[in-house]
Copies of this chain bind each other. A is one copy, B any other.
């Protein structure tokens, strides 16, 4: 079995690679599949995150390069497509966002269409497909009204993945991910990057900027639950997914202030004081344009699950990223 992970050296790609290598094979459609022979990581940034394993092959290149995409998909069975220009960057540089998030996806879909055996694709979308005006509660049936170019590109991607699947070119599944927190690594250009950095940095004694008001609600999913969901989205039988290929994932809603309170409960006031509240009206506007109250009935019926509370998310982050120890407590 050959696997491709685009954006494979990013944090979620790295964690998924480790998980897959450890498992050795997947239970697909309820049946134990052939062992994983190769995992191709396609990423423009080789990064420090490449897992050292004979089964891993790094392809350094961009989704704007048809040749490298063609090479990446050759003989592939399963594809996780994470590579994207993130929200703030796609808003600041429209052409770059279109090139990667739309035209890059189209090139990938066309390359997969030419492969035999209808490769299976998990496409990662997000709740940025929604924007105001929208209902207060987002259910599976709410119409996407993106108010960012990133959100538009993700909504378009969902439609493309669904139609390529309907036609039998691929077997695609589009998951809408909540904001992932606590994301390890460095801040990126996503408007949501603070949702992780205000926890991650203080826990190692570094300062972090919170650009939004404490009462701002966010809809989040932990890395552990995100990885489970990304695997589940891949292994569900085609018939179970059905004609609607979009699966909005369950998360939990809480305010930024609640997150900080949980941090203080776990690590003390000194740690929580590492957060500098530096209001940025543009980030506030973008984050407020995303939905916070979500009911993901369809995903729950399909066996996906969110987190129970933010205290457990912090604890899991300390276990997974800090070997169970908060350095400066």
On A, residues with C-beta under 8 Å from B are 94, 131-133, 141-147, 149, 152, 155-156, 159-160, 162-163, 166-167, 243-244
Contacts and interface: CB of A to CB of B under 8 A. Distances in A.
The number of times this chain is found in the oligomer is 2
Contacts of A160: 152, 156
4 residue pairs, one from A and one from B, having the closest CB atoms: A152-B163, A143-B143, A156-B156, A152-B159
Given A133-B244, A145-B162, A145-B243, 19 more contacts: A94-B167, A131-B243, A133-B243, A141-B142, A142-B143, A143-B143, A143-B144, A144-B159, A145-B244, A146-B162, A147-B166, A147-B243, A152-B160, A152-B162, A152-B163, A156-B156, A156-B159, A156-B160, A159-B159
A115 to B, nearest CB: 16
Nearest to A166: B147
A21 B227 CA distance: 61
Contacts of A243: 131-133, 145, 147
B143 A163 contact: no
Residue among A131, A142, A149, A159 having the largest count of chain B Cβ atoms under 10 Å: A159
A187 to B, nearest CB: 25
A161 to B, nearest CB: 10
A94 to B, nearest CB: 7
B145 A143 contact: no
14 contacts: A133-B243, A133-B244, A143-B143, A143-B144, A144-B159, A145-B162, A145-B244, A146-B159, A146-B162, A147-B166, A147-B243, A149-B163, A152-B163, A155-B159
A158 B142 CA distance: 16
Nearest to A244: B145
Nearest to A139: B143
A89 to B, nearest CB: 15
A111 to B, nearest CB: 14
A146 B94 CA distance: 26
